[in-house]
Amino acid sequence: MADVRKRQPKVCDYYTSEDGFSPGVAFCSGCVLELNLRFISRVLGPDIIFVGTPSCSAPVLHGQNTMAWHKHAYYACTMTGVASSATGLSRYYEKAGIDATVVCHTGDGCAQDVGFQTLSGAAERNEKMIYVCYDNEGYMNTGIQQSSATPFGASTSTTPTGRASKGKTTGSKNMPMVMAMHEIPYVATATLSHLEDYAKKLVKAKEAAKRGFVYLHVFAPCVPGWKIATDASIQVCRDAVKTNYFPLWEAEDGVFRITQKVKDVKPVEALTSTVGKFKHLKPEQVAILQGQVDQRFRMLQALCAGSAAVEAPAE
Amino acid sequence: MCAVEKATAPAGALPVPGIVAQPQTRVITGNGAAAWAAMLCRPDVVAAYPITPQSEVIEQLAKFHADGVLDCEYVTVEGENSAQNVICGASMAGGRAFSATSSYGLVYMYDAMFNTAGYRAPAVMINVNREPPGIHAVCSGQQDMISVRDTGWVQLIVENTQEIMDMTIMAFRLAEDHDIQLPVIVNYDGYYLSFLAESVEIPSITQVDDYLAPLKAQPPRPQLLPGSNLGCGSHGIGMGYVELRKKHMAAMERVKPKLEEVEAEFSAAFGRSYGGQIEEYRTEDADIVLVTSGSAVGTARTVVDAKRAEGVKVGLVKLRLYRPFPKERIAEALAGKKAVGVLDRSICFGWDCGPLYMETRAATAGDGSAPMLSFIDGLANMDITQDHIAGMIDDIQAAAEGRAYQQVTWLP
């Protein structure tokens, strides 16, 4: 059987349907959110319902952009009510025997800050849904304010640099790990530079959501918010993975596994030097950020080892 | 979409748990009556978070659920805000949804209540009236209900345990009616009614099924299903928004006749009725009238009888519908009276009076210059006694006779 070469699946092999979004949707030039939504739509298929809030994705998901829209069922609610509204939908579908994949799609501010209680509650109750948090590290839609996902040192409109300040003074909340500690069926990180990895996780997510709560944390750079070029966002995603700033991993029923092991890890400066919001960082600040990145990665490795995960071959 | 067929396929006869197979009389609390009534209406989803003095409602429902009497999804949410979003979501998906709360719990739902009403999700909720400010104000007062009046929910206030039972059943019939499609709150005074045990007539579940059956004959309401080309919550911008608000307002106005209709059906089925939007007691030949709501009405009725025996021509108006405000029936009931008093269990900042007083006065503004007195009593579990009410009636009578009067009186 040695002559049968196993073909690596390509991204398009994971597509189950046509793109549910029309052309011409209103995202900023170079924004990864458009790709994110179209990708979720194509991999998960038409029989889903999106739940979302006022956010960058709202105009497209919930129809303010009325000339270009999508074919999916959707439910829009307040930022405090995403996982709970989705619970209401999901529980009724359960009661009525309706097959459903309820997909929450929110930014980091909603997931980690104002909507965190309800997200944590739904996870604890193991409600059947997929919660996708697209992490652009702040409140980009309202004008680039800091959130609990904003990293150490980053300049935002509420942590601006000035004579007395050098950006955000604390690190970001390690949200995917927080969600993993809820011991839900499936947690994973993903980003738009590694679509095969993301697709596999979406397929697993859809299956796992039949048993309970799924959390996907998607690294999603913001072109104007991060002050990067419109053609740079996918490269920034890649850099975030290559520096271990945003490692790609999953926790399946409590078993942690790094899904994209990076062979030659680059220093975090390879990321920060290309992103405008970090431009002001002094070497000692970069060192602090590097320390946080390393610490988090060691913890992730320890969890992988401790939960007896089998690691993926190096990229 | 094959799964949808499963949901809409005829399910055959609904199960009839032994405990509710026959009409019965039981001594139960006001909270118990709310729970029994909700159970009898077969909600698909119940979202529950405890708060004094409401907790007994959701505990009783949890027991019904645990005993297999209530076949529903029982969601033990992590806070009232989530309870509100759960019932809105479940309702938009097509289900019958119920929750219960009180005081801070109600105001913690505030942002989401606009959505539930704005999306026209016909959920039903119990609010056990309790004061909001201060962590030790764990006591009766109607400020909670007043503070959510502009969220677009229908709000009712009831007087006793039997009325809690009956109005909760009627609330589902009203909320889900094709002409209404609005969420409904049934309010009752904490402590005075929540923990008061009285003899209550409990209908059988089959009787309640029959009472709610007209809903099934109505056009089906839109159901948000996965895979469908439907959405909710955008509420449009510009004219789309204005249109939805105007339709919401129109539906709210339709509640007034619909409540009377729904109650007539209830009366025909169960032999009890409450007067619809308001109940008038000895108002016809009255010179003066006291307007109030909730648990104080029983006391007021007793005092009105006593004053009548003394020759004072006093009547009583019991406000049952708070939103929409029954301005036409109030104006009619108070037309030509020589003086009117309104007893509030809450306060109205900015108008220096009680909120029901402010609204009653607005409803009768075209009615000349009959004196109108505001009484604020019963805040924070301070008992509204017969003596208090007798004093109010004396003040109203004095004003009717042309003597000087105080416009706003705080008691005790």
Name which of A81, A95, A117 is nearest B78 (Cβ-Cβ). Answer: A117
Q: State which amino acid sits at residue A272.
A: T
Rounded to whole angstroms, the maximal C-alpha distance in chain A is 68
Name which of A63, A75, A92 is nearest B45 (Cβ-Cβ). Answer: A92
CA atoms within 13 Å, Cβ hemisphere of A21: 25
Cβ within 8 Å, pair B89-A121: no
Taking CB atoms and an 8 Å cutoff, what residues of chain A touch B84?
Answer: 81, 84
Assess contact for A233 and A32: CB atoms under 8 A: yes
Confidence of residue B7 (pLDDT cuts 50, 70, 90): very low
Q: How many residues does chain B have?
A: 412
Q: What is the mean pLDDT of chain B?
A: 95
Taking CB atoms and an 8 Å cutoff, what residues of chain A touch B82?
Answer: 81, 83-84, 87, 117-118, 121-122
E-only strand ranges, B6-59? 24-29, 45-48
Cβ within 8 Å, pair B230-A73: yes
Cα–Cα distances in angstroms (integers) from residue A37 to residues A34, A58, A60, in the given order: 5, 11, 9
Distance to chain B for A8, nearest Cα, Å: 31
**Burial (0-12, 13-18, 19+ Cβ within 10 Å), A283:** exposed
Distance to chain B for A142, nearest Cα, Å: 18
Domain with CATH 3.40.50.970 in chain B: 20-270
CA atoms within 13 Å, Cβ hemisphere of A205: 28
Q: The domain B20-270 is classified under which CATH number: 1.10.1200.10, 3.20.20.80, 3.40.50.300, 3.40.50.970? A: 3.40.50.970
pLDDT in tens, B351-404: 999 999 999 999 998 767 799 999 999 999 999 999 999 999 999 999 999 999
Mutation target among B2, B45, B82, B237 for the A interface, most CBs of A within 10 A:
B82
Average pLDDT per block of 10 residues along chain A, 315 residues long: 71 93 88 95 95 88 76 94 98 97 97 98 98 98 96 97 94 98 98 98 98 98 97 98 98 97 97 97 97 98 84 58
Nearest to B289 by CA among B369, B400, B366: B400
Q: What is the phi/psi pair of residue B152, to 5°?
A: 95, 10
CA angle B344, B143, B31 (to 5 degrees): 95
Assess contact for B314 and B286: CB atoms under 8 A: yes
Domain with CATH 3.40.50.920 in chain B: 278-410
- Asked if the bond preceding A59 is cis, omega within 30° of 0, the reply is no
How far is A285 from B93, CA to CA, in rounded Å?
50
- The share of chain B scoring above pLDDT 90, in percent, equals 91
How far is A159 from A145, CA to CA, in rounded Å?
7
Assess contact for B65 and B76: CB atoms under 8 A: no
Token pair 């309820």: residue: A102
Name which of A81, A92, A97 is nearest B94 (Cβ-Cβ). Answer: A92
**Beta strand pairing status for B314-319 and B73-76?**
unpaired
**Burial (0-12, 13-18, 19+ Cβ within 10 Å), B106:** buried
CB atoms near residue B66 (< 10 Å): 10
Q: How many CB pairs below 8 A link A and B? A: 163
Taking CB atoms and an 8 Å cutoff, what residues of chain B touch A96?
Answer: 6-7, 44, 93-95
Q: Name the 3-class secondary structure at A71.
A: coil
Cβ within 8 Å, pair A87-B86: yes
Cβ within 8 Å, pair B79-A117: yes
Terminal C-alpha separation, chain B: 63
| pLDDT of amino acid B253 | 98
State mean pLDDT over B297-317: 98
Taking CB atoms and an 8 Å cutoff, what residues of chain A touch B233?
Answer: 62, 74-77
Taking CB atoms and an 8 Å cutoff, what residues of chain A touch B1?
Answer: 47
Q: Is A74 on the interface with B (CB under 8 A)?
A: yes
| pLDDT of amino acid B130 | 97
Q: Is A190 on the interface with B (CB under 8 A)?
A: no
| pLDDT of amino acid B233 | 86
Cβ within 8 Å, pair A121-B79: yes
Rounded to whole angstroms, the maximal C-alpha distance in chain B is 75
How far is B409 from A84, CA to CA, in rounded Å?
44
User: Chain A: residue nearest B93 by CA?
Assistant: A89
Q: For residue A111, give the DSSP letter.
A: I
Q: What is the phi/psi pair of residue B58, to 5°?
A: -75, -25
Cβ within 8 Å, pair B92-A96: no
**Beta strand pairing status for B124-129 and A48-52?**
unpaired
Cα–Cα distances in angstroms (integers) from residue B31 to residues A54, B38, B101, B172, B196, in the given order: 37, 11, 11, 17, 8
Q: Is A15 on the interface with B (CB under 8 A)?
A: no
| pLDDT of amino acid A3 | 61
pLDDT in tens, B326-366: 999 999 999 999 999 999 999 999 999 999 999 999 999 87
Q: For residue A261, give the DSSP letter.
A: B
Distance to chain B for A55, nearest Cα, Å: 12
What is the reported pTM? 0.95
CA atoms within 13 Å, Cβ hemisphere of B93: 35
State mean pLDDT over B244-266: 98
Tell me the domains of chain A and their CATH numbers.
Answer: 17-306 (3.40.50.970)
| pLDDT of amino acid B8 | 43
Name which of A64, A81, A97 is nearest B112 (Cβ-Cβ). Answer: A81
Contacts of B41 by beta carbon, 8 Å cutoff, 6+ apart: B96, B98, B124, B168, B169, B172, B208, B212
Cα–Cα distances in angstroms (integers) from residue B154 to residues B148, B332, B391, in the given order: 10, 22, 33
| pLDDT of amino acid A4 | 67
Token pair 């520096």: residue: A243
E-only strand ranges, A228-298? 249-252, 255-258
Cβ within 8 Å, pair A98-B225: yes
Q: Is A101 on the interface with B (CB under 8 A)?
A: yes
Run of H or E including A187: strand A186-191
Cβ within 8 Å, pair B93-A77: no
Q: Is B302's pLDDT higher than 50?
A: yes
**Beta strand pairing status for B45-48 and B97-101?**
parallel
Token pair 């709202």: residue: A58
Q: The domain B278-410 is classified under which CATH number: 3.30.450.20, 3.40.50.1100, 3.40.50.920, 3.30.70.1350? A: 3.40.50.920
Assess contact for A68 and A22: CB atoms under 8 A: yes
Residues 103-142 of A with CB under 8 A from B: 117-118, 120-122, 124-125
